[in-house]
Amino acid sequence: MSRWRQADSISDWLGRFHNPDLEARFSRHVRAESAAHVVTSGLVAAAMFAAFGLSDYALLGGDDPAMAGLITLRAIVVTAILALVMAVRRRPALVDRVWPVNAVIALGITAIILIVPLRPETIDTQAPAVMVSVIAVYLFFPNRTPWRLAQSLYLSAGFMLAAWLLAPVPAKAMTAYILLLILVNVVGLLTAMRLSRLRREQYATLLEEREVNDRLQSEIAARQHLESRLTRMVRTDELTGLNNRRRVQELAEQVLRLARREDSPVTVCMVDLDHFKSINDRFGHGAGDSVLVRVAECLREALRESDILGRFGGEEFMVVLPRTGLDEAGEMAERLRRAVSGLGEQDFGLPLRVTATLGLAELEPGERTIDPALNRADEALFEGKRQGRNRVLVARPSAARRQPAAE
């Protein structure tokens, strides 16, 4: 059983939610529909009361003393009903209050009962009208079940008492009227209770569907967030937020395909921080991580939007420079070196200075992957380390590959 049906079950007798807050929510949910029912039922009832006035005039004529009383009674009821209709149209919330609707219904019922002494000779036609009115009270006016029952019993008992005292009704006919009114009240009450329960069960089902839908939406959002996080983990270096080595190679393949179509150069750059181990040994790995993060930011700021930057591993970074030959790449690498060497205590909060050695290599014709150029750039980088660090070395193509030239 669902949470709604466990915690907010419906009363078998009243046809209402046991939970008052849920009942109030249901009332707000059906308020517009209930107001429309009151307006429609009120207009029909007013029209019926007015139409029966014409019947009174046809039977009694304008000179009968009872005619004035009937016209006055019907005019009062029609006016009250129309006033209720107008009020509910302006303020639909009135249907949730006890007195506005019940007061007008009680007035109409009183008028029906008073018609018996004013027109006792029409008791045979009034009895069916009373039975129809009882059913209407149960089915068409949005009252609570106890009020529906009270109004219907008032109409039934009042009509039978007036008929017994003031109209010539034979005993057998009176017995038939009583049995028929009891049957009508039982059927009307059971029907009203069933309809009230069904409407609330439908509302509970709607709440369940919304709850399930909200849960599904939350699960979908959580799954999408997890997938996005996993994608970032697969593609991104967790510490620096840069592309990891695999992602750089994936992006480099796209760059290579474009370069082959355009016949444009591509250069790769390896960046290695000098004496990084001494930073970890002297200040701790936390300080080393801070240095890597700040250097990553520095490299990102110094590169173009089209350049591909990633962390190769440890203190080593790699850059893929599309549409860039060695000469232009050398200038960019020198700019990167100066940017890194410009970092100091103001950036790390520690008395240290960071420098970097960079190696460059351009992809050669016929190379289908970035790996050969990476290897040459790595060789140039290590040659720069041997020459004293904090410099840019370029791996020249073909025959000059094994003899990198310093700037």
Taking a C-beta distance cutoff of 8 angstroms, is the pair 144, 192 a contact? no
315 is catalytic: yes
For residue 247, what are its two tokens? 């992602």
Please enumerate, as own/partner, the contacts of 121-125 that have beta carbons within 8 Å and a separation of 24 or more: 122/59, 123/163, 123/167, 123/168, 123/169
**3-class secondary-structure state, position 319:** strand
Say how many C-beta atoms besides its own lie within 10 A of residue 152's C-beta: 25
184: nearest Cα among 155, 162, 161: 155
Work out the burial of residue 293: count CB atoms within 10 Å of its CB; fewer than 13 is exposed, 13-18 middle, 19 or more buried.
Answer: middle
C-alpha span between 142 and 373 (Å, rounded): 82
**Of 315, 362, 379, 383, which is the active-site residue?**
315
**3-class secondary-structure state, position 141:** coil
C-alpha span between 163 and 127 (Å, rounded): 9
∠ CA 312-317-323 to the nearest 5 degrees? 105
The DSSP bridge pattern shows strands 356-362 and 266-273 to be: antiparallel
Which residues are identified as catalytic?
Answer: 315
